[in-house]
Structures are given as structure tokens and as C-alpha cells.
Amino acid sequence: MHIKQTQRVSGFTIVELLIVIVVIGILAAVTIIAFNGVQTKANTATLKSDIKNATTQLANNATLDSNYLSTLSATGGSLSKSAATTYQYSYISANTYCITATSSKSGVPAFNYLSSRNTIIEGVCSGHSATPSVAYTPSTGATSDYAGSGTAGGLNGAKASAQFDGPIGIVIASNGDAYVTEYLGNRIRKIAADGTVSTFAGSGTSGSTNGTGTSASFNAPRGIAIDSAGNLYVTDTGNNLIRKITSAGVVTTFAGTGGSNYSIDGTGTGASFGNPRGIVIDAAGTNMYVADTATYTIRKIVIATGVVTTLAGSSTSGYNDATGSSARFTNPYGLAIGTDGTLYLAEQGNHVIRKITPGGTVSTLAGVYGGGNANGTGDAAAFNQVSGIAMGADGVLYVADTGNNIIRKVTTAGVVTSLAGPGASGPGSSATFNAPYGIAVGPDGAVYVSDTSANKIRRLL
């Protein structure tokens, strides 16, 4: 009888070889699982360490209030953390807060700290998300071109070759899309997060026609803000109007009569404005604020009703810290708002950053009357025709110092430093700008600047 031999490969039978391969595969899988387990433990330890350090920072503050980030800015800056960590915060009462720490690393659970409980436990605070979409990392000032070829025009397409004509106002949506006003091109442009530039609204010809997309018209639009539903609000400066643009591009007149520069309070189109420029919406989406430049006032608009009132300032220009109509401004321009409702004004004519409480009390946060170019604290700092201003999630203000061609950082304690441009230290020291006006902070912490005379949008990482 002939018995068939089992085939051998390099001294092994095929069955033995298969067994070896399976064993190696199992060992590799076990090794990977073990390694991932070690990494997850290390990443979890980092996250727990971050939230412990954050709670220590909070405990060391002399005062805790509903905007503790502002307090932190006065005592050394934002909460310390690693790059993978994201914080979420909320107040239960004036001095009782909850903070959630989550990690972008896979497999790491969230942890939270409730001040009244005084312990860190796994899980999230009430109302917080276990998987926040974007980690916020404050800008270091490293500057690059984000969109625009530098040639004036209205060409749409890929952001590097697209053209802008006097880009001035800018706002960033939560999904990373950017919207830009063109005061020379009379258009609202969209820079999608994928890098595609399009004309969102405006025909390119000066006018005040309502309509959809390019059938609408504007006259030197400048300021722009966005609400949680994706509606845009634009200060149509040349028309003395506030325009609303839905997420579908439908343009209507939200407030203002148009025509002459008057500061008449009223409702909707019964109110009047004078060269409105800066615009901002509060965190609750309840109120909108407008820097009414030619009437030297800050206007408040209740979004649900369209009721327009004057929060601070009067028809007389000047420089005076006071409350309501006793305060004086000269060419108020950009606006930013804190989570507690405090407004921050970039005042172009007086070259200072003003602070305005929800009750209308005005004070000077930073800068000196008459202007200049200096870093420092309070009136030891100096600006030259500040225009745009925006607040990051860390409570720090970013300012377009237009006359000095510098992007500045201002804490809510009034400490001023240069982030990018002449005089900056670090990655932004080699950057140059040409009349930067608009400024916005993206959900990831990147700062976007409308470099107006360069016809570009710049990004500072």
C-alpha cells in the first residue's frame, strides 16, 4: 500500500505552518491589545491630572462668579491642559460650578468635578457632552494665508485662487465655515470648511434690495454675526440698516429705516442707525448689540421683538467713562461679548478698548487716549485705530490693531501683548499685515483675520 506523504514547507508540514501563523497572530493581537490598554491608562491618567490641576486653579481664585474664565485671566490665564483635553463648564449657582474634562484619545472616559461635591468622578456634568466635537487650543500667532490670492475681485472657487474685494467683517460658524463681508465688493462671501469660496449673498452692485443670494444687494457691509440657528446678521453700513440672512441665503431688513444718519430708538424698521459697524450676539441668543459709529452710540436689539434701544453713548462724540448716555465714544467700531454679557468695544477714534456692563456702565480696559504702539497693562498699553475684536473660549480678547498692522491679545484684566506682526514674540513675529480689520476666533481656537488691504483672509494657529 502506498501512503501519501504530508507536504512539507521549509521543514514544516503545512498544518504545522498554519498553527505557527495562527499562534503568531494571536500573540500579535494580545500585544496590540495590551499596548492599547497601557496607552489608554496613560491617556486616562493625563486627563485625570488635567482636571485635578484645573480644579486647583479654580480653588486658588480669590473670586468665583458666573464667568470664571475672566477671573482666571486676571490670575494667570486660562485653565492648563494637554492638547487632547477639552473642558466644558457651567454654573449651578453663583459659586457652585461643574467642570467636565474629555479627551480626544480613543477609549478614555470623561471625568467631572462638582465644586459642592469636591471630588472628581467619572462621567459628565448635567448638560455636557461626553464627545465634544472640537478641542480648543489658543493661537500661538503662527500666521498663514487662509483664503484669497491677493488680487481684488469676486472670483469664486478654491480658497487659494479665490478673490476678495475689501474683505472686512468675518465670523466663523460652529462647523468651521467662515462668512466674510466685502465693503468694496458689496457681497457676503462664504469660505466652506472644505476650502471652497462662494458668494453667499449680494449682487456685487451697491443697493438695498432684499432677496435670495445674489439677487439681494448691500452697500458697503461691514460687521457680521451668527446665531445658533445659522442666521447671519450684517451691518449694512452704507444703507444704515441691519440685514438678516438665513442659512438658505434669504436676505431681509431686520432693523433700520435707511437714509440719513440718525439714532432713533424704535422697533425693527421704525428704528434708525448711523453707519453701523460692529455687531455681536450674546451667548443666550437673546440680544444683539451694534456699534453705531456715526452716532457715537452702542445700540441694543432684542432679537425676538426687534426692539432697538441705546445702551450707552450719545450723539456727541468724546471720551468719557460713565453710565448710559453720559458715556462718550468716538468712532466705536468692533464688538465682542463675554458669557456674562459684558461687552468689549474696539474704539477706533479714541484708540482704546472699552468695557461695557449689561447695565451700560462704560470703563476703559486698555489703551491710552491719543493712541500709540505699546504692550502693557491698562493705560500703559497703546493702540492705533483698533477695529475688530473677538473673544476666544478661554476668555482672551483678540484685537485687530489696524493702524499698527498688529494682532494683539488682551486679557480681561487689561494685559496687552502682541500675538502677530511687528513687535510680537514667538511664531507670529515674522508675520506682516496690510490694514487688518475684522477678526474672529474659530471653534478650534484658530484666529481668523480679514487683512483688508491685502484682500486676503489670514489664519493664526
More confident: 15 or 383: 383
Cell of 272: 434708525
Q: What integer pLDDT is reported at residue 31 of this predicted model? A: 57
- The whole-angstrom distance between residue 178's C-alpha and the CA centroid of its chain comes to 11
Q: pLDDT tens digits for 414-424?
A: 999 999 999 88
DSSP β-ladder status, 287-292 and 297-302: antiparallel
> The dihedral of CA 411, 415, 421, 426: what is its sign?
negative
Question: What pLDDT was estimated at residue 283?
Answer: 87
Is 324's pLDDT higher than 70? Answer: yes
* Maximum alpha-carbon separation in the chain: 118
Q: How far, in Å, CA of 384 to CA of 401, rounded? A: 6
Q: What is the pLDDT of residue 394?
A: 82
Model confidence at 137, pLDDT cuts 50, 70, 90, reads confident
CA distances from residue 248 to 49, 205, 299, 452 in whole angstroms, order as listed:
45, 21, 27, 27
CB neighbours of residue 414 within 10 Å: 22
Report the alpha-carbon distance of residue 129 to residue 104 in Å, rounded.
13
The one-letter code for the residue type at 375 is N
Contact 97, 115 (CB under 8 A): yes
pLDDT of residue 277: 97
Mean pLDDT of the chain: 87
Burial tier of 4 (Cβ tally within 10 Å: 0-12, 13-18, 19+): exposed
Cβ distance 229 to 217 under 8 Å? no
Q: Specify the pLDDT at position 284.
A: 87
pLDDT in tens, 193-203: 888 999 999 99
